[in-house]
Amino acid sequence: MYSSSTESNSPPPGAGKLIRLGIVAIIGIIVLVMVGNQGVILSMNMTEFDDQFTKPLQYSLISSLVLAAIALVNVDVKNRSSIVWYAIHVMITFLNRTSHDPVSKNISSFRDYKLSVPQFAIWQVTKIFLFGAFFVNIMFGLGLSHMLDGNDLGIDKIPTIFSLPFIAPESSAPAQTVIELIPALTILVPALLGVIGIRLAVYVGLHSIIKVITSYLYDSSQGKPKFLNYVSTIEAVIGIGIIWAGINMFFTEQIDYNTKYVIGGTLAAGFLLVGFSIFDKIRSKVLTHPIKRDIYIRVFALIAIGIIAGSIMAVNNSIADTRKIEYLGPYTQQQITLNRYLGELDKIKITNDDVKLSSVSPNNIKSYIEQNRDVLDSVRIWDWEAAFAKLKPEIGLIPYITFGDNDILRFNNTLYWTASMKPVVPSTVSLENRWYNEHLVYTHVPDGFLTLEATTGQSVETADLFSQRSIYYGEGGLFRETWSAFPTNRGGTSAEINNALYSGAGGITLSPPLSWVFEPNFLLSYPSTSVHVMRYKDVYDRMETLYPYFLYDLFGQKLDIYPVTDGKDTYWLVPLIIGFDTHSVPWSMGNPYLRLVGFALVDTYDGDITLLKHGDDYFAKILESQYGEKFSPIPSWLTEQIRYPQELFTWKTEMFNIYHVTDTETFIQANTFFEIPDKLDAYYIEAKPPGFDTTKFLGLLSLELRDSKGKNLSGYMIVENDLPTLGDMHFYQVPLNSTTKLIGPTAVREALEKDNDFAQLKTLLRTPRIGDNILYRVGEHDVYFIPVYTAGSGEGVVAQLGTIAAVGAAFNGEYYVGLGNTQQEAFEAYLQKLAGVVPTSTSKSDPGFDKEARLAKVKAVFEEKGLEIITPTSLSIPLSFKEGEVSLFSNADVEATDKLLDEFVNDFVLQKTKRVVMWQDEDTINFGTIITVEGVPELHYVAIEVGK
């Protein structure tokens, strides 16, 4: 009932309208702020980066316009249908209907709905702008621009792809044809197949289904449903979908002897359904319901096609089980050829490594070490974990920086571990002060690098390597999380840490009111002052924004970038790697197409980017045609700092592990594939493998035979890092039938653990940790150098080097392990064990040639010449001269010993005396003679090491 209270509580007239207007106003303000902010950011990007930003934007716009037009623009001017506008029309009609009208009466047939010509034309353009962002494919835009400039990507040869499943390959010519088509198959075809599929789904599938549903509702309301007509439409939709699936099968990653039957059966089923659809469409003018017999005919026809195609494939598979080489071999050859091209495996030089285990005479060990000092002095002793433990205390008590990344670098043929830093907000900063500290205080890292010599483990003065150490553009931390800024009128007063005053060219100056729109806080804090803003300070974000063509995440990890310097400025060296999916490339097996196009130098102080050209593949040529003026040759100062990307080196090695096999029968048998040992990464070292005259900066990966129980090495892969041979790869292969094996990382660890000397030493070391085991070729010897570190258990305790092990990689049934404080001492101990000077854990002396036998052998030399050997209790001669020394531990040393003794006897004994003096000094026996010269006695002697 109406009452006064009801009247007093009723809203004033027009209150609902005011509320709606208020909501609309608030939404409008929010949209205006968002659009304004994005507009300012777009303007800032175009001003700060110029064509570095506009070129990718241009390619994005081209791709979105072209692909969206192909997918969405309706060219059926006659019918002029639109699902969106039809849905709006139905909704309005439904809302305006009376409560007594049935739903079917208010839904008109989609078949009869048409837009006016102007509305239809405007809507096609509007769709492109509304949905174009969903079709952005920057690689397609770049490739299309390249084609529009008059260049060829091989698109005209695409029709040849449709013949490949139906020819029996007799050579690798089909694979060569596909290789020529790879630019089109990777850049253009996937995008085109995708948008054509969307177009078919929308204008054939969705439009037809909506027509069927609305026609059924309309016809039912008239009491005249035309089921046969609906069935014919559905048959056409399914048939066209199956035909499109069959066409896509030509662009598959694998083609074999059964592919033509799969494609043929699919296309036959599709065309059969389209034929039935046409037939039913004609009959639907007379009949309203499908005949049950016709339904059976269609179902059985499709089943017959499936049975025929399936039976043929089953028979082929059965025959191929016994004639695999004949049936599968030709297609396997295409797979091998295509993937060798993808991995550039034909460029890898393969050398047979005839592993031998040959000892060095104890008399020549010292000189042998001296001859190979260049390699021994370059052995990488300190791994990153140990280096990090030594570098970490150098940060000291600075709470606003932390470690960002680590890299192995080369300067003046010396390897260094370098740790880069990133800024962080200290945890002690309160929440209300966080914005101020993030944007105005912790803007950079003052001394951004720490370095440690990788061989000696000594920390070095980083300023000697990097003159510019202030990092304003780096990796992670606040660089990635936010931007930094400072007022342009700050003068000599700075809020930055250490009162730093940035003077570089990075960033952009914003004047009010643009600064207010970019950051509303500036409206209150700097209402009339310009602000210098530095954005995209994370190197990855910066590169992805300006050069989005390249890969910055590979195989689930960030691309490895590292610092380099020209002596004045410091840069991040970023490998420019492009990658394409190859699922549309026949015989690719889905392996990606990866290439090194070049490098980018990103200045750590002002963020400037310089592109360096290196690659020569088709995509490098596309980029050069569009960015020709931006690419520069690699400068000479970078020659000894550059290195081949580890990600590409590992990927190419993985490809080589399988596709080094070029014989189809061996490939199908799959018993000679390689693999990288578990938990082993590529090592970058200074080494001198076979065929090299001097030590080189190389990447190294050891390879084992896949599924082999012995876990011996099948060989090892290296990659060169010096220009102009950057990226050249060599594989040193151990023959499968080699009697001497090359032990792998797992076995070498076991060899070290089993060594008696190491077992004793290990008990004396404090919490020992075994470091990297890196394989080196020292002279003619393959040797693993393994550092063993010691450290306390407390936080911040610096790692110490406990010992170095040199473990022989060549294995013929016995392990040889040498220990020492340096790599030279360890290698010497290894050679001594190999020569029999020091017994190994399992070695045995030559039968009948123990110490007594060796001593008797030496005495016999003097006795045969009629000389008397005397052993005085003491010797006191004012002058003594050692005329030579030799080691006698095995029969192999007898010849050298006899030669020394013969020379000594002839020169100093026979002409002067018949007596020889013998005395022992630890494990050395000395033989001498006393000669008086001008009244002064002289002792001339030789020393023979015979062991304990």
* Pairwise CA distance, residues 594 & 341, whole Å: 11
pLDDT band, very low/low/confident/very high, at 36 (cuts 50, 70, 90) = low
pLDDT band, very low/low/confident/very high, at 226 (cuts 50, 70, 90) = confident
Angle subtended at Cα 611 by Cα 610 and Cα 617, rounded to the nearest 5 degrees: 175
Q: Does the pLDDT value for residue 818 go beyond 70?
A: yes
DSSP 595-636: EEEEEEEEETTT--EEEEE---SHHHHHHHHHHGGGEEPPPG
Question: Which of the pair, 436 or 813, is modelled with greater confidence?
Answer: 436
Q: Does the pLDDT value for residue 326 go beyond 80?
A: yes
pLDDT average, residue stretch 804-809 = 94
> How confident is the model at residue 794, as a pLDDT?
45
> How confident is the model at residue 101, as a pLDDT?
58
The closest of 142, 247, 140, 249 to 186, measured between CA atoms, is 140
> How confident is the model at residue 19, as a pLDDT?
63
Q: Does the pLDDT value for residue 16 go beyond 70?
A: no
The Cβ of residue 507 has, within 10 Å, a number of other Cβ atoms equal to 23
Q: Does the pLDDT value for residue 380 go beyond 70?
A: yes
pLDDT average, residue stretch 403-431 = 92
> How confident is the model at residue 841, as a pLDDT?
46
Percentage, residues of the chain above pLDDT 90: 58
DSSP 156-170: GGGGGGGGGGGS--S
Q: What is the DSSP letter of 743?
A: B
Q: Does the pLDDT value for residue 7 go beyond 50?
A: no
> How confident is the model at residue 454, as a pLDDT?
95
Note whether 241 and 205 are within 8 A (CB): yes
Q: Does the pLDDT value for residue 144 go beyond 90?
A: yes
pLDDT average, residue stretch 201-228 = 85
Q: Among the ranges 14-23, 454-463, 582-591, 796-805, which has the highest mean pLDDT value?
A: 582-591
State pLDDT tens for residues 350-374: 999 888 888 888 888 899 999 999 9
Question: Which of the pair, 705 or 290, is modelled with greater confidence?
Answer: 705
> How confident is the model at residue 476, as a pLDDT?
93
The closest of 827, 146, 165 to 549, measured between CA atoms, is 146
* Pairwise CA distance, residues 657 & 376, whole Å: 30
Q: Strand locations in 144-228, DSSP E?
A: none
The Cβ of residue 728 has, within 10 Å, a number of other Cβ atoms equal to 15
pLDDT average, residue stretch 30-57 = 82
State pLDDT tens for residues 619-634: 999 998 888 888 999 9
Tell me whether strands 729-733 and 713-720 are parallel, antiparallel or unpaired.
antiparallel
pLDDT average, residue stretch 585-609 = 96
The domains of the chain are located at 172-343, 851-945
Q: In this structure, what token pair is assigned to residue 431?
A: 């929440």
> How confident is the model at residue 792, as a pLDDT?
46
3-class SS at 108? coil
* Pairwise CA distance, residues 548 & 576, whole Å: 10
Q: In this structure, what token pair is assigned to residue 719?
A: 């990659």
* Pairwise CA distance, residues 473 & 152, whole Å: 39
The Cβ of residue 448 has, within 10 Å, a number of other Cβ atoms equal to 24
pLDDT average, residue stretch 23-44 = 71
- Taking each helix axis as running N to C, give the angle between helix 51-72 and helix 117-131, from 0 to 180 degrees, rounded to the nearest 10: 130
What pTM was computed for the model?
Answer: 0.85
State pLDDT tens for residues 434-459: 999 999 999 999 988 999 999 999 88
pLDDT mean across residues, the chain: 88
pLDDT band, very low/low/confident/very high, at 5 (cuts 50, 70, 90) = very low
> How confident is the model at residue 103, as a pLDDT?
55
The closest of 228, 194, 48 to 583, measured between CA atoms, is 194
* Pairwise CA distance, residues 589 & 585, whole Å: 8
Cβ contacts of 249-253, under 8 Å, gap ≥ 24: 249/165, 250/161, 250/162, 250/164, 250/165, 251/161, 251/185, 251/189, 251/193, 251/584, 251/585, 251/586, 252/583, 252/584, 252/586, 253/582, 253/583, 253/584, 253/585, 253/586, 253/587, 253/588, 253/589, 253/590
Q: Does the pLDDT value for residue 843 go beyond 90?
A: no
> How confident is the model at residue 168, as a pLDDT?
86
* Pairwise CA distance, residues 946 & 948, whole Å: 7
Note whether 554 and 647 are within 8 A (CB): yes
> How confident is the model at residue 351, as a pLDDT?
95
pLDDT average, residue stretch 415-427 = 93
Percentage, residues of the chain above pLDDT 70: 93
pLDDT band, very low/low/confident/very high, at 12 (cuts 50, 70, 90) = low
pLDDT average, residue stretch 492-500 = 91
> How confident is the model at residue 793, as a pLDDT?
42
Q: Does the pLDDT value for residue 848 go beyond 60?
A: no
> How confident is the model at residue 34, as a pLDDT?
59
State pLDDT tens for residues 655-664: 999 999 999 9
